[in-house]
């Protein structure tokens, strides 16, 4: 009863809201800091693309997508890792709250841009997984970097972690369909579909490198 009365009292609703907001504050702060890290990374990548465009009349980056992991996915991933989802644990455990996807036309561009970004003196490389050279068994290909990048707050410098995924347009097309397969349950003939997807991953890889070869040939043969 006491609870009902409290809820019916508009003043207490204000208190509950204030308490919720107070508890949510450190989480919202972490999300804001991750948004800032994404802005810094996106700017760095756009600078490189603009420079290539001006000097070589060529854009190695087709598009850049950024996202902060949504709260439900954060909690789900923490559960999967068996770690209680406190703000402190989330920050320590997850490397991909901030995520950038860099879509390039050709595999060579992926390595060129990733190498340039990796050597910038305010960036640290925490880990590098080359799923292009070593694809996952299902055929997934991308180059993943976990980077440390500084953001500058009123309280000083803070190093944020972010995951940067580099893919070609074709690898991204493949990964989107694979993602659908992953999140759909009770699919008939799932094994057969996975095998079809694996075959497509190989075909896509072949086309990626053949297209790159043609691009390079055009460069060599143009006067």
Active-site residue set: 163
Q: How far is the CB of 79 from ligand 0O2 (least distance, A)?
A: 13
Site string for ligand 0O2, 43-82 (x = CB under 6 A): --------------------------x---x---x-----
Is residue 184 part of the contact set for ligand 0O2 (CB under 6 A)? no
Which residues on neighbouring strands pair with residue 64, listed in sequence order?
Answer: 102
Interatomic CA distance for residues 93 and 86, integer angstroms: 10
Strands 156-168 and 98-104: parallel
Is residue 40 part of the contact set for ligand 0O2 (CB under 6 A)? no
Interatomic CA distance for residues 162 and 41, integer angstroms: 9
| Three-state SS annotation for 137-170 | CCCCCCEEEEEEEEEEECCEEEEEEEEEEEEEHH
CA Rg value for the chain: 22
- Applying CB under 6 A, among 144, 168, 171, 205 the residue interacting with ligand 0O2 is 144
Is residue 180 part of the contact set for ligand 0O2 (CB under 6 A)? no
Sheet (strand 61-68) strand order: 61-68, 98-104, 156-168, 143-153, 124-130
- Applying CB under 6 A, among 31, 38, 48, 96 the residue interacting with ligand 0O2 is 96
Site residues for ligand 0O2, window 103-132 (CB under 6 A)?
129
Q: Which is nearer to ligand 0O2, 40 or 178 (CB)?
A: 178
Residue of 201, 205, 131 whose CA lies nearest to 165: 131
Is residue 136 part of the contact set for ligand 0O2 (CB under 6 A)? yes
Interatomic CA distance for residues 97 and 105, integer angstroms: 26
Site residues for ligand 0O2, window 189-218 (CB under 6 A)?
none
Interface with ligand 0O2 by CB under 6 A: which residues? Answer: 69, 73, 77, 95-96, 129, 136, 138, 140, 144, 175, 178-179
């Amino acid at each position: 009863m006491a609870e009902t009365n409290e809820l019916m009292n508009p003043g207490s609703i204000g208190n509950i809201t204030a308490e919720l907001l107070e508890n949510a504050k450190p989480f919202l702060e972490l999300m804001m800091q991750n948004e800032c890290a994404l802005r810094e990374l996106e700017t760095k990548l756009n600078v490189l693309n603009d420079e290539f465009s001006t000097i070589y009349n060529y854009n190695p980056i087709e598009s850049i997508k950024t996202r902060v992991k949504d709260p439900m996915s954060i909690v789900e991933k923490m559960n999967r890792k068996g770690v209680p989802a406190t703000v402190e644990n989330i920050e320590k455990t997850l490397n991909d709250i901030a995520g950038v996807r860099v879509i390039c036309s050709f595999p060579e561009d992926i390595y060129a841009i990733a190498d340039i970004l990796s050597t910038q003196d305010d960036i640290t490389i925490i880990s590098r997984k080359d799923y292009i050279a070593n694809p996952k068994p299902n055929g997934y290909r991308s180059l993943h970097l976990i980077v440390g990048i500084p953001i500058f707050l009123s309280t000083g410098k803070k190093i944020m972690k972010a995951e940067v995924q580099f893919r070609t347009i074709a690898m991204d097309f493949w990964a989107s369909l694979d993602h659908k397969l992953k999140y759909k349950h009770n699919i008939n003939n799932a094994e057969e579909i996975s095998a079809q997807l694996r075959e497509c991953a190989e075909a896509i890889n072949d086309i990626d490198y053949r297209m790159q070869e043609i691009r390079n040939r055009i460069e060599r043969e143009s006067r």
